Structure 1
């Protein structure tokens, strides 16, 4: 092949890749399916309510609990000795807590810490954590007052 032919071919490849990339990034995202929405809500411990019910709650000023409810009594309570070393990430010890049966979801606990700005204030140390503790109690224990 000659130099001019090779350059023309390369330019054609670049142009087609650019067009495909632009079409991909500029196309509107597909909306999530109902099953995906339900899975997301369940994973994050949220519920969906109708808009009129939401508006009524806002008008009456009632507060809905933002933290997960404690587990009912009569279930097995797991006690876990959590060791957090300097440099450990919240994801790493959240996975340990999930594996030990202390929390239901490492991701939702990590999201809880991130939303409340506690992820950077975790103190290294050894903590005794129980499965009947909610996210707020665990975060107070490991992040301090």
Structure 2
């Protein structure tokens, strides 16, 4: 090949690379996929709800009468003896806690454990869990500190 042919070929490569790079960096980003959205929601502890269901929840909340704090309110606290055996899954004992009235939702508790990376830190043992404990207190009780 002659010098002039080689320079023309190199210039053609440079121009085509520049055009492709410009097209790549100036094109709009691709729309997120359903998997991307689900991963984002799980990472941030969010839940997707349909618009009509959301509107129903808002209406129900606005129609509910405001609770007046009572000076002599009595709160019943339940104590449950939770036994976690080696190999038990968080889903199993979360359902057990929900059935005992200690937590409102087993799914929410599982999501909390996953979100905070505690599902593999659960220690087998016997624990006294109270209904006035929040998810953080229960997880501090049953999980190994990180």
TM-score using structure 2 length: 0.52
Is it true that 1:109 corresponds to 2:109 in the alignment?
Answer: yes
Q: In the superposition, relative to structure 1, how do residues 108 and 32 fare at CA in structure 2: closer, same or farther (>3 Å)?
A: closer
Runs of 4+ with >2 A deviation? 35-40
Is it true that 1:33 corresponds to 2:50 in the alignment?
Answer: yes
Matches of 1:85 and 1:78, distance apart in 2: 22
Shift of 1:75: 1.9
Matches of 1:76 and 1:32, distance apart in 2: 32
Aligned twin of 2:123? 123
Q: In the superposition, relative to structure 1, how do residues 95 and 34 fare at CA in structure 2: closer, same or farther (>3 Å)?
A: same
Q: Give 1:1-145 correspondences, 5 Å limit.
A: 33-37=50-54, 74-145=74-145
Query: C-alpha offsets along residues 112-138 of structure 1, whole Å, 9 cap, x if unaligned?
Result: 000000000000000000000010000
Bigger Rg, which one: 2
Paired residues, number: 83
Q: In the superposition, relative to structure 1, how do residues 131 and 36 fare at CA in structure 2: closer, same or farther (>3 Å)?
A: same
Q: In structure 2, list runs of 5 or more residues that go unmatched.
A: 1-47, 58-72
TM-score using structure 1 length: 0.52
Kindly report the root-mean-square deviation, in angstroms, between the aligned alpha carbons of the 2 structures.
2.3
SS in structure 1 at match of 2:120 = helix
Shift of 1:91: 0.2
